[in-house]
Structure 1
Amino acid sequence: MQVTETQADGLKRAFRVVVSAADLDAKADARLNELKGQVKLNGFRPGKVPTAHLKRVYGKSVYSEVIEQTVNETNGKLVEEHGFKLALQPKVKLSDGQQGETLLDGGKDLAYDVELEILPKIELSNFKDIAIEKLVVDVSDAEVDETIQRIADSNRPFATKEGAAETGDRVTIDFTGYVDGEKFPGGEGENIDVLLGSKGFIPGFEEQLVGAVAGESRTLQVTFPETYAAKELAGKAATFEVTVKSVDAAGPIAIDDEFAKTLGQESLDKLKETVRGRITQEHAGAARQKVKRALLDALDAAHRFDVPEGLVEQEFAGVWGRVQEDLAGQNRTFADEGTTEEEARQDYRRIAERRVRLGLVLAEIGERNNIQVSDDEVTRAVVERARQFPGQEQQVWDYYRRTPEALASVRAPLFEEKVVDFLLELANVTEKTVTKEELYKEEDDEKAA
Structure 2
Amino acid sequence: MMKHEVTKLQNSQTEISMVFEENEWKQATKKAFDKIVANLEVPGFRKGHVPEAIAKARIDNTKMYNTAIDSLLSDAYRNVVAEEKIVPWARPNVEVTKMSETELEIKISVLTAPEVKLGQYKGHHVDKKIPTVSKEQIDDEIKRIQAQNAEIILKDGPAAIGDTVVIDFEGFVDGKPFEGGKAENHSLELGSGQFIPGFEEQLVGLKAGAAKEINVTFPASYAKELAGKEAMFKIIVHEVKEKKVPEVGQALFDELKISEVTSKESFEEHVKTNLMKQEEENVQKEYYEALLAKITDLAEIDLNHDIIHDEVDAMHERLEQDVKQNGMTFEQYLEMSGQTEETLHHKLHEEAERNIRASLVLEKIAEIEEITISPELVDFEIAKIADQYKMEFDKVKEILTKDMNRFIADIKTRHIRDFLLQNND
- TM-score bucket of the superposed structures, by smaller chain: 0.5 to 0.7
Match of 2:412? Answer: 415
Identity level (%):
22
Which of 94, 97, 103 is matched with 1:95 structurally? 97
Unaligned runs of 5+ in 2: 32-51, 387-394
In the TM superposition, residue 296 of structure 1 has moved relative to its aligned partner by 3.4
Which of 195, 198, 207 is matched with 2:201 structurally? 207
Q: Which amino acid aligns with 1:359?
A: S
The within-5 A match list for 1:10-25 is 10=10, 11-23=12-24
Match of 2:106? Answer: 112
Q: Assess if the C-alpha contact under 8 Å between 1:220 and 1:241 holds in 2.
A: yes
TM-score scaled by structure 2? Answer: 0.65
2:307 maps to 1:311: yes
Match of 2:255? Answer: 262
Distance 2:285 2:228 in 1: 34
Match of 1:140? Answer: 134
Structure 2 CA distance for partners of 1:356 and 1:140, relative to 1, 3 Å: closer
Structure 2 CA distance for partners of 1:231 and 1:146, relative to 1, 3 Å: farther
Q: Assess if the C-alpha contact under 8 Å between 1:171 and 1:196 holds in 2.
A: yes
In the TM superposition, residue 329 of structure 1 has moved relative to its aligned partner by 0.9
Aligned partner of residue 294 in structure 1, secondary structure:
helix
Match of 1:364? Answer: 364
Which of 198, 205, 213 is matched with 1:219 structurally? 213
Distance 1:64 1:301 in 2: 46
Distance 2:317 2:267 in 1: 45
Q: Assess if the C-alpha contact under 8 Å between 2:18 and 2:107 holds in 1.
A: yes
2:180 maps to 1:185: yes
Match of 1:128? Answer: 122
In the TM superposition, residue 303 of structure 1 has moved relative to its aligned partner by 0.8
Distance 1:159 1:114 in 2: 70
Distance 2:353 2:155 in 1: 60
Structure 2 CA distance for partners of 1:218 and 1:112, relative to 1, 3 Å: closer
In the TM superposition, residue 301 of structure 1 has moved relative to its aligned partner by 1.1
Distance 1:414 1:237 in 2: 54
Q: Assess if the C-alpha contact under 8 Å between 1:157 and 1:253 holds in 2.
A: no
Aligned partner of residue 112 in structure 1, secondary structure:
strand
Any idea what the Cα deviations from partners look like across 1:53-84, whole Å, max 9, x if unmatched? 9xx99xx9999888656545544554455454
Q: Assess if the C-alpha contact under 8 Å between 1:87 and 1:308 holds in 2.
A: no
The within-5 A match list for 1:56-95 is 70-76=72-78, 78-79=80-81, 82-88=84-90, 90-95=92-97
Which of 168, 173, 182 is matched with 1:175 structurally? 168
Distance 1:313 1:112 in 2: 27
In the TM superposition, residue 176 of structure 1 has moved relative to its aligned partner by 1.7
Match of 1:438? Answer: none
What CA RMSD, in Å, does the superposition of the two structures yield over aligned residues?
A: 5.0
Structure 2 CA distance for partners of 1:175 and 1:126, relative to 1, 3 Å: same
2:167 maps to 1:155: no
TM-score scaled by structure 1? Answer: 0.62
Distance 1:250 1:345 in 2: 40
In the TM superposition, residue 365 of structure 1 has moved relative to its aligned partner by 1.5
Distance 2:217 2:130 in 1: 41
Distance 2:243 2:272 in 1: 27
Distance 1:220 1:155 in 2: 30
Q: Assess if the C-alpha contact under 8 Å between 2:211 and 2:236 holds in 1.
A: yes
Q: Which moved more, 1:172-181 or 1:307-316?
A: 307-316
Distance 2:111 2:190 in 1: 61
Q: Matched residue pairs, number? A: 376
Q: Assess if the C-alpha contact under 8 Å between 1:171 and 1:194 holds in 2.
A: yes
Q: Which amino acid aligns with 2:294?
A: A
Distance 2:338 2:139 in 1: 40
Aligned partner of residue 287 in structure 2, secondary structure:
helix
The within-5 A match list for 1:241-320 is 241-245=234-238, 253-266=246-259, 267-269=261-263, 271-272=267-268, 274-308=270-304, 311-319=307-315
Distance 2:371 2:6 in 1: 36
